[in-house]
Amino acid sequence: MSAGPHADVAALWHRDPDALRYLAVGYIPWLAVLNLAWEIAHLPLYTIWYEGRLGEITFAVAHCTLGDVLFGVAAIGLALVAVRAPALARWHWPRIATLTALISASYTVLSEWINVVALRSWAYAPSIPTLALGEFDLGLSPVVQWLAIPPAALWLASRWQPSAV
């Protein structure tokens, strides 16, 4: 007799203290540090770098980094739910990293369009590499940010917890 489709619910990631600890003290701190570094490094690709005052630039970096962390947490949460991730010891790391990056990059395309075109919350400097998407030139730096940072944060966090991978 089969135990049914919900027999392994206790072994899912959100009920696993090791998975929650990995995310809280490994993934999220690395996600924050890497996104802060990226936000600072790609400032010259936005007009605020040339037109903003120090306070405005500082606020933008802090605001964007906090938003990056919140979205990065949401993206990995969605990825873990989508793959029905088990307890941490049984994670399929490449699948989780890839899906997290794809969710993040997809949201970034939408966010960049909303903020650059629809709301005009920020503008690209002429130096930013772009990809033409119809009438919208998408900045490649934020897309690369989200394709690279979530997998890097997952990998770095696993280095601090070698039994995780």
The mean per-residue pLDDT over the stretch 1-20 comes to 72
Binning pLDDT at 50, 70 and 90, where does residue 135 land? Answer: confident
Nearest to 103 by CA among 139, 69, 70, 72: 72
Q: Residue 7 pLDDT > 60, yes or no?
A: no
**Could you please report the per-residue DSSP string of the chain?**
----TTTTGGGBGGG-HHHHHHIIIIIHHHHHHHHHHHHHHTGGGBTHHHHS-HHHHHHHHHHHHHHHHHHHHHHHHHHHHHTT-B-GGG--HHHHHHHHHHHHHHHHHHHHHIIIIIS----B-TTS-EEEETTEEEEHHHHHHHHHHHHHHHHHHHHHSGGG-
Which phi-psi region, left, alpha or beta, contains residue 95 (left: φ > 0; alpha: ψ -120 to 50)?
alpha
pLDDT given at position 4: 46
Question: By mean pLDDT, which of 4-13, 45-54, 133-142, 156-165 is the weakest?
Answer: 4-13
Q: Residue 8 pLDDT > 60, yes or no?
A: no
Q: Residue 165 pLDDT > 50, yes or no?
A: no
pLDDT given at position 2: 43
Percentage of the chain modeled with pLDDT above 70: 91
* Per-residue DSSP letter, 119: S
pLDDT given at position 89: 94
The mean per-residue pLDDT over the stretch 76-94 comes to 97
The mean per-residue pLDDT over the stretch 3-27 comes to 81
Domain range annotation of the chain = 10-164
For 119-133, write each residue's pLDDT tens digit.
999 999 999 999 999
